[in-house]
Chain A
């Protein structure tokens, strides 16, 4: 491009609101090193890269600017000839203008656009799970050996009555109170909401198969229910959000529970927006919208501006499903979460799903993902406390999500008041994700967050489900170990038992908010 033409473009850019790309050369994030000696010249690396970062010129040549560091080529090179490492570029250090600030700014100077990202917040905010420790038994309170003793992880989600009445007859004791519809889980873990569209059908199928096998639940997200997954709908939360994608009376009645999505931890106050190019014929079918049309799911549901309005939708869904399904409301953890949660429970929700600010996303503006919301640890503690104080904790179960990395995090969440935890990022990692955070491009080399058939067929749903089943079983076994060490034989005994948590390195205020004593303080 000549200087004159560039000048002309710039003038046009000032005259109109259209943004003109202004290339700016900047160093790449990764260095792609290839060992010529080892290379078998099989071209597999070229085929494996979903981002077209490698081309063949009598040998593989990489464009480091396109490399996202997902390691697909490296792992699939039969000769182990490829190494991907951080580009050891040297910027003069600056504590304020960190490397990521500089790089983000350069991209915006080039494109004039809102930065997008995928997966969860990657900034080093304090992780409160890592400041909490669980209690264990010694001498005076015997621990339980889960190898020998039965341990109960079974969990029920849904509204519990304020009191239970029974009638006693000669035939025995019968429950007189009508129990609201609920869900039974073999272990207090669910798969988080991830829509078909944001993830591939194979990925969603792997998750659905695993939920069925493990006796837990998966969540359609706001993408409708694909025909192939209808056999697994009885193990699904079917979502209804602002875009109403694929929502019909049949859809609502096919699921185990109906979920109103208000917000998502990764992007509180921001809606979903599946770009038209990802609305493939199959996605179009499932969402019931035309191929290639943007699937807009704005943050406000414009029929919900108040708790009363939310109640209206909750009961519209209950009426549509003849009061046979529990209704869940999913919100992002925000500053006023306790009061909002109280309103949601009073509005008639049977399950409250709280997503912390570290929760994942298929696409979100980076600045939103990185700077909005609050940690799930805090949100969970204040919501549980608020509902207890109001005497309505029994009216809804709490699902905690947004940064649950291990069975230990799950146990700590349960001790803070969660009935169960939902796992999204963890499930994708089990399917092969390496957390490159490029889900929003739809080019996932691992076949997870893409709709390109060349890429999606890389993920075998049956093998994928096997890995997810293993993960859930491993975490469940670890939960049993944790419970045993704590001397309880049922997860119910740990639920909301903050006395079994101690904190290290937290300030007084945070301790008060969490309702947890510092380590060193006894019972």
Chain B
């Protein structure tokens, strides 16, 4: 549900021909829907490092679907009001639990290393948590306790920046996803409150 435009439903459809491509779609007939979808597409391109493809579609330049990560990109794009400033998220974020700044540094092999700076506590543990969070949110592979990479082996710096914001708090994010997914699923009366 798009709280920024008439509560219309907006969905991300995956269309597979050669490479997987994504289409932002709504069945709404309301005036302004096309403009809203166009903004969400633009936001996804910037925030998730996606590129335009064919007829208003999006794809990753590596050709990999990155299905879990693209869903996160879509959800984040929908949270923005039309006309909001679109800039890729930085490769560092404040970890509120530790007070540390978590930084993700990529190398030429597409490996992202999590590091921490600042005066916070539990740096080693929090770096592992953040790497684990990136792995879950982006379906990335663990290289070691604090390093991850995408299965395609390519760099997606903007996408990692987007995921990094949520990575320190991954459990809450996954719980939120689960709650959202169960909304609208009718339970038998015996299972309702």
Decide if A and B are genuine partners.
Answer: no
Identify the B interface with A (CB < 8 A): none
